[in-house]
Structure 1
């Protein structure tokens, strides 16, 4: 009796397990749901999905959603995108949103955008609802030397056909900043820019800055503009200081050359004095030689001495300070 009850219990448990395995391998509930939703998926195809390690529920739900939205997508396309590592649910949601918004988007392009690493559903939403990008402060200098600091708001929407390989927001911001700098820099007076800030928007927008990007620029608006430094005056001041330093350096060079010349002249004067002293030292020897040879008499010698004394007296009278200095 006991063995019979155990056998019945084991049979029931085995039957339940077998039924669960059978229902797992044969997802009859998914097939029945697909048939009720008018989605043509065979039971064999669902079993093969399980063997290919593709979730049958994911494919079935995606097919039901797309069919109800009026889209034409095959199970093979969904399986291929799943096996490639894509996000099937986001692609289906993006296709439905694009179809409702009359945005041309097919399954191939949507999957390419998704596999490229971009959020395809967010891109479709961005095409419907444009986004406003605030640029950082952009500083530029007008021709009169006054610096202006501008902030802009760029309204963009996604360009679906440029999402794959198109540049991002950083490129848009860089190009808009470059356009602002160019426009302000080409203005003759900063007052013109302050009076007509819309001229910057029109000029920058006309440059076609969204070329090659994943966005389409709808408008560029100058949100704020402040006056910065007087760069022109600062540059002139710096130039004047630099010129003054150069002039001082040249004056110092000339002063040093003058001092060197003065020292050289003093050295030459000392050399000349030394030669005079040397020549004067030879005078007594010449006089003595003249005495020995009889070419000079005693009276001639006295007259020479008187002449010398008279010359020294005249020099002392005409230049008393020089005598004191020389003494």
Structure 2
């Protein structure tokens, strides 16, 4: 029984060794590469394992590139993989660019991929332009009427400006700015409604795709709508503000008038007090004049007569006509 057990142990060890060998050394991938005309050594595949590179992610794209006649080598693909790029997507983009007769080299495609852009999508967009629809853009004409415009921008990817070029958000912002400028320079909103194509011509002529990753092919006005009367609304708010300012100034003038009136009343009271004080000094002055001989007895009597006559006249002036009082009642 012992020789049989030994045979089973040997077979089991052989199976384990072969499994480890075939899992570490991609023999089937090497055979597939040779059958496709890609010359890659078995030790090169083992070295990829040691460099922590998945061989299938390098060899399979190399097979596609060789079949497409791109002339790439393993080192280029492996270096791009180690840099964190997507090798399969770059090779697919190069094949699509070759079929579409677009000039694109591996270095440019790898740089675009490492920049975080989808190079395959960019190549497809170069062949098949994309339509970007802007949101509603509100602008006000010179007559104060609001105009809302929605546009469709047809763009094509610019391969040479994909690295460092601005994206779709910049295109939308620039188109919106152009729409606002064009509508704002119109004398009336009717001019915009009659000739919406003038917006397209004006905006397209501004070179809005400068510094972006796209090339604008056309700008088409999808919809135009009339909004609020912004001019009348602003005039109403201005009139309301002017009214409030006038009311505030009137209230200020009223407060100043009340303060002036109170001040005048205080002055009158002060003057009356001074008059009473002066009148209280008159008898003392007359007594002093009599003692000093400056005022004679006859002069004093004449003064008393004048005072009596003045009091009599005052009492006559206070009498009222009975008929007048009845009429008043």
TM-score by length of 2: 0.86
* Aligned partner of residue 272 in structure 2, secondary structure: helix
Q: Structure 2 unaligned runs (5+)?
A: 321-329
| CA distance in structure 1 between the partners assigned to 2:226 and 2:186 by the alignment | 14
| CA distance in structure 1 between the partners assigned to 2:34 and 2:279 by the alignment | 141
| CA distance in structure 1 between the partners assigned to 2:265 and 2:15 by the alignment | 126
Instruction: List structure 1 segments (4+ residues) > 6 angstroms apart after TM superposition.
Output: none
Q: Alpha-carbon deviation of 1:287? A: 4.1
1:37 paired with 2:36, answer: yes
Alignment of 1:115-264 (within 5 A): 115-264=114-263
| CA distance in structure 2 between the partners assigned to 1:314 and 1:66 by the alignment | 134
Residue aligning to 2:74: 75
Distance 1:17 1:264, change over 3 A: closer
* Aligned partner of residue 165 in structure 1, secondary structure: coil
Q: Alpha-carbon deviation of 1:250? A: 2.4
Contact 1:134-1:151 at 8 Å conserved across structures = yes
| CA distance in structure 2 between the partners assigned to 1:113 and 1:316 by the alignment | 115
Distance 1:100 1:320, change over 3 A: farther
| CA distance in structure 2 between the partners assigned to 1:202 and 1:320 by the alignment | 96
Contact 1:133-1:156 at 8 Å conserved across structures = yes
Q: Alpha-carbon deviation of 1:26? A: 4.7
Residue aligning to 1:49: 48
Distance 1:289 1:82, change over 3 A: closer
* Aligned partner of residue 187 in structure 1, secondary structure: coil
| Residue range with higher mean Cα deviation, 309-318 or 271-280 | 309-318
Q: Alpha-carbon deviation of 1:318? A: 5.1
Distance 1:320 1:86, change over 3 A: farther
Matched residues, number: 319
Q: Structure 1 unaligned runs (5+)?
A: 322-327
Residue aligning to 1:61: 60
| Residue range with higher mean Cα deviation, 228-237 or 67-76 | 228-237
1:7-36 Cα deviation digits (max 9, x unpaired): 222233333334344444554433332222
Q: Alpha-carbon deviation of 1:286? A: 4.0
Distance 1:197 1:314, change over 3 A: farther
